[in-house]
Amino acid sequence: MHDIACHHSLQLLQRDVRITFVDRQASRHLLNASALFAALQTKVPHISVAMFDFAALSMPEQLRIVHQDTDILVGVHGAGLTHQLFMRPGSAVVELQPNALVNAETGTGQMGYRNMAMMMGLDYFRIHVDVVGEIGGREGGRGGGGGRGGRGRR
């Protein structure tokens, strides 16, 4: 995340870089999200990280958060990433995509959220993550396990 902020000169803002993590509680969530973002915030003090379960918020509140309070939107592959439609131009999206969605022949993952980001003038990054089990009948992701990240523009 620090590299993303630096690459896009977000560190030149007169305020902290605001990272919003879509924290899905019911399905496909990042198991170590709290520890991961606490470590990130310790290492990079000029950022602020907020975690939201958008399912628990009204739509106007969700839109306010992504439009007014988000420089970088981070989330596990899923509908929460469609909130990028309401982000300011120049913002960035980080998709945590389960390795199960990677095409074995081409080595590429799902491109829908990348395409959406490109259409909206947002920067896009994808990090492949391992699925560690079933949670309520759906998968849960573990950050960093896949180790394969990629800039969406190829």
The answer to whether residue 71 scores a pLDDT higher than 90 is yes
pLDDT for position 51: 87
Average pLDDT rounded to a whole number, residues 116-139: 75
Domains, in order of start, for the chain: 2-151 (3.40.50)
Residue 66 confidence (pLDDT): 93
Higher pLDDT, 123 or 6: 123
This prediction has a pTM of 0.72
The DSSP line for 27-76 is: SS-BTTHHHHHHHHHHH-TTEEEEEE-GGGS-HHHHHHHHHHS-SEEEEE
- Residue 151 confidence class, pLDDT cut points 50, 70, 90: very low
The letter for the amino acid at 35 is A
> Could you read off the pLDDT of 42-70 as tens digits, one per residue?
888 888 888 888 889 999 999 999 999 99
Average pLDDT over residues 111-125: 91
Binned at pLDDT 50, 70 and 90, residue 141 comes out as very low
Q: Are 86 and 80 a contacting pair, CB within 8 Å?
A: no
The residue ranking higher by pLDDT, 138 or 76, is 76
